[in-house]
Amino acid sequence: MRGAASLGYLLARTSDTLADSAAIPVEARVPHLEGFERAVAGGTEPPRWPVSLLNALADPRERALLEASGDLFAWLARLPAAEARLVREVAATIIGGQKLDLARFAAADARHPVCLKDEAELEDYTWRVACCVGVFWTKLGFLTLGARFSSEPMPRLIERGVAYGKGLQLVNILRDIPADLASGRCYLPLPDPGDSARLSEERARWGAKAAAGVEEGLVYAETLFSRRLRMATALPAMIARETLALLRTADVPVLQHRVKVPRAAVYLALVRAFLGKIR
């Protein structure tokens, strides 16, 4: 699985870099993202990024990633056709979500916040940026490993993967509420994100949904035959579970900053995941 999964990740990181380059106006980011989207679909040659875009990236690692785009597309061309199809499919879904985000929050700022309209929009968002990854991971596992991938049938495992992806993305949303509100974004469907009492209620409600999705991820991991795959699949759920615990117990000043699991807890989760002690 490693090749296609790694390439899918790098393509998603590339599109994320294009979508989130705050130093570049939204109206300039969209064409770059659309050009990348066409190249991923196989309709055009790999894009050549202008120097102005590369110079606007503060993180040298992000610049290096964009400069390596040609290598990524060469790698995609070398993948077996069925694996490449899955990579293109998941990347297209993620890019679609990033484009929608740019359009939705184009005029948002701290004084003029924009919230998702309803739960359907939140469901759609989590599907585009996270649930589709659970589907990709599952299909790729059965494609490359067959019966050696999981003890559970693919349709049921896909359901668990979708729930897991949703849970992880909800954790990200809940953890990032302060930073998102500072830039005018609110992924929770609220009539008024400035209503702290309602925000607290919705944080708790969606936290429960996130926890349920994370538990699905742990069940998913337990069905996998490979120890390394169990470890790789369970670790994000274990860290997410720790993050949710911190969010539930944190006081208001802490919640106003990004809650982060201590590095020691991450290392402990890594050891427990390797040993199969994921509960």
| Residue range 167-175: mean pLDDT, rounded | 96
Question: DSSP class of residue 183?
Answer: T
Angstrom distance (rounded) from CA 257 to CA 260? 9
Grade residue 30 by pLDDT with cuts at 50, 70 and 90.
very high
Q: How far is it, in rounded angstroms, from Cα 79 to Cα 3?
A: 8
What lies within 8 Å, CB to CB, of 18 at 6+ separation is: 29, 32, 33, 36, 66, 98
- pTM summary value: 0.92
CB 154 within 8 A of CB 88: no
Bridge partners (DSSP) of residue 114 are: 185
Using the 8-state DSSP alphabet, how is residue 109 labeled?
B
- CA–CA dist 246, 203 (Å, integer): 13
How does DSSP assign 44-104, residue by residue? SPPP---HHHHHH-SSHHHHHHHHTHHHHHHHHHHS-HHHHHHHHHHHHHHHHHHHHHHHH
Q: Would the CA dihedral through 222, 227, 232, 238 be positive or negative?
A: positive
Q: Quickly count: other Cβ atoms within 10 Å of residue 19's Cβ.
A: 20
User: At which residue do the structure tokens 């040659």 appear?
Assistant: 45
pLDDT tens digits, one per residue of 192-229: 988 888 998 999 999 999 999 999 999 999 999 999 99
pLDDT per residue over 102-150, tens digit each? 999 998 998 999 999 999 999 999 999 999 999 999 999 999 999 999 9
Using one digit for the tens of pLDDT, what is the confidence trace for 258-270? Answer: 788 999 999 999 9
The CA distances from residue 181 to 4, 108, 154, 169, 173, in Å, are 35, 10, 39, 17, 11
